[in-house]
Structure 1
């Protein structure tokens, strides 16, 4: 049996960075898919500590909250920077991505099509800080922080790939981010995962068909 179990909806959503991290680190995991119908029945929701998914099982350790899960995996696989300074910067980057993720959910919740249009209008402003961070780190030739891949890189790559599905060409004005996405997507194990049906066939969110 795989050592890890992810319990989540049949979407990329907040679990895709975890899946990408696990795949790139050569790990296997089990997926337990919760459909909308399952969730509406209320039994699964009632069993969740905070009433939400994802749920992550690592042996006898059960975790909720996607950022806690991602950071747990980062510590497990040495993906939290090489020192406290890098760890602090990674936390900052991750919190920045949390802001734009929450904005995405907020805009799409009531009217997906109008919300999507508004989000894409705002997208360049969301991308600019990450282009700046890349430029400040070895001229954009390395990772978002430091010279080793981190949990924040998987989350950022997941966002960038989603943005490119929603708005092809959105990285044209951000050459460092564009090259970064290509470079990370080319990592052999990650490339294989991104080409798999498990990734391709999952929609980005419950709000969108893509």
Structure 2
């Protein structure tokens, strides 16, 4: 049996960065897929610590909150920087990814038709900090922090990929981010995962918008 179980809806959503990390690290996991009808019944929701998914299981350990899962796996697989200073910058970068993801989620689920044009127009301002972080780290020749991939890289890659779907060409004015996405996506295990039928069959969001 795979060591991990991801309990989540049949979408990429907040679990895709976790899946990317596991796949890239050569790990296997089980998907416990929760349909909207099952979730609406309320029985599973009542058992969830915060009344929400995803739920991540590693043996006796049960975690909620996707960023907590990423950090846990980051520590477990040595993907949390080489020292406390790098770890702190990774936390900062990951918090920045979360800020952007929350804005994206608000657009997708609450303001898509009315807000998409303005969101796309403002997107360069939201992406610039990540270009800056890359430039500060070996001129963008490596990862978001340090010289080894981290949990935050998977999270940032996921957010960049979904924004490329939302707004094709959004990275055209960010050469370092463009090269970053291409480089990470070409890692053998990640490349195989990104091209897998399982991933292709999962929509990005739960309402069909992207």
How high is the TM-score relative to the length of structure 1?
A: 0.96
Match of 1:6 in 2: 6
Q: Which moved more, 1:108-117 or 1:165-174?
A: 108-117
Does the 8 Å CA contact 2:108/2:209 hold for their aligned counterparts? Answer: no
Match of 1:35 in 2: 35
Return closer, same or farther for 1:127/1:152 CA change in 2, 3 Å cut-off. same
Q: Tell me, which stretches of 5 or more residues in structure 2 are unaligned?
A: none
2:11 touches 2:203 (CA, 8 Å); kept in 1?
yes
- What pairs with 1:52-91 in structure 2 (closer than 5 Å)? 52-91=52-91
Distance 2:144 2:81 in 1: 11
The number of residues matched between the two structures is 210
- SS of the aligned residue for 1:102 comes to helix
What does residue 187 of structure 1 align with?
187
User: 1:80: how far off?
Assistant: 0.3
CA contact (8 A) 1:112 1:208 kept: no
2: CA distance, partners of 1:159 / 1:179: 15
Is residue 2:131 matched to residue 1:131?
A: yes
CA RMSD of aligned residues (A): 1.1
Contact 2:2 / 2:29 at 8 angstroms: preserved in 1? Answer: yes
Q: Match of 1:24? A: 24
Residue in 1 that maps onto 2:116:
116
> TM-score if structure 2 supplies the norm length?
0.96
Partners of 1:137 and 1:75 in 2: how far apart? 21
* TM-fit CA distance, 1:166: 1.2
Stretches of structure 1 lacking an aligned partner (at least 5 in a row): none
SS state at 1:32 partner: strand
Q: Which residue of 2 aligns with 1:199?
A: 199
8 Å CA contact 1:108, 1:114 repeated in 2? no
Structure-2 residue corresponding to 1:208: 208
CA gap of 1:201–1:115, structure 2 versus 1, over 3 A, is farther
Whole-Å separation in 1 of the counterparts to 2:32 and 2:139? 41
